[in-house]
Amino acid sequence: MNLTIMMVVVLLLIGLFSGALSGMIGVGGGIVIVPALVFFLAFSQKEAQGTSLGILLLPVGILGVIQYYKQGQIDLRVVLIVSLAFLAGNYFGSKLALSLPDKTLKKIFAIILLIMAVKIFFFDSNKKEPVHTPISNNVENPKT
């Protein structure tokens, strides 16, 4: 693939937007990167997913993590547990994805995004009691 100046500009905009969104609301960059690569740069679903994983492989979120950690807003126990399970899930999920047609992958991706959007939009999760007690990282929160 030849990179034109316009393509580099689009890639930079995708990176800036997905990075800002990730830092602001804590979503993985793939939620923006995958559809953007498919729609704006005509990537196949598999190319977009593989490229997104390649982007996120490096510790791209480390600066955001540091900011949240400084404010005492990260439970490192949860990070460790979910990260270990995520590794296994990612391995098997990627093998499954590569065996499916692009059209099926797009539908699965869209359905998951739609379900999450409906849940967030229509159901108030603030009414639920927390299922865990946040752990302090011994950093004073300036807002308390």
Give the pLDDT confidence of 112-142 residue by residue, as tens digits.
889 988 988 888 666 666 666 666 555 555 5
DSSP 126: G
Angle at CA 11, nearest 5°, toward 9 and 17?
Answer: 100
Residue 102's pLDDT is: 93
- Residue 92: pLDDT band with limits 50, 70, 90: very high
How crowded is residue 88: how many other Cβ atoms within 10 Å of its Cβ?
9
Q: What's the pLDDT tens digit per position in 48-82?
A: 988 888 888 766 778 888 888 899 888 888 888 88
Residue 144 has pLDDT above 50, yes or no: no
Q: Which runs of consecutive H residues, i.e. helices, occur in the chain?
A: 5-25, 30-41, 45-57, 62-70, 76-99, 102-122
pTM of the full predicted structure?
Answer: 0.67
Residue 68's pLDDT is: 87
Task: Report the percentage of the chain scoring pLDDT > 70.
Answer: 83
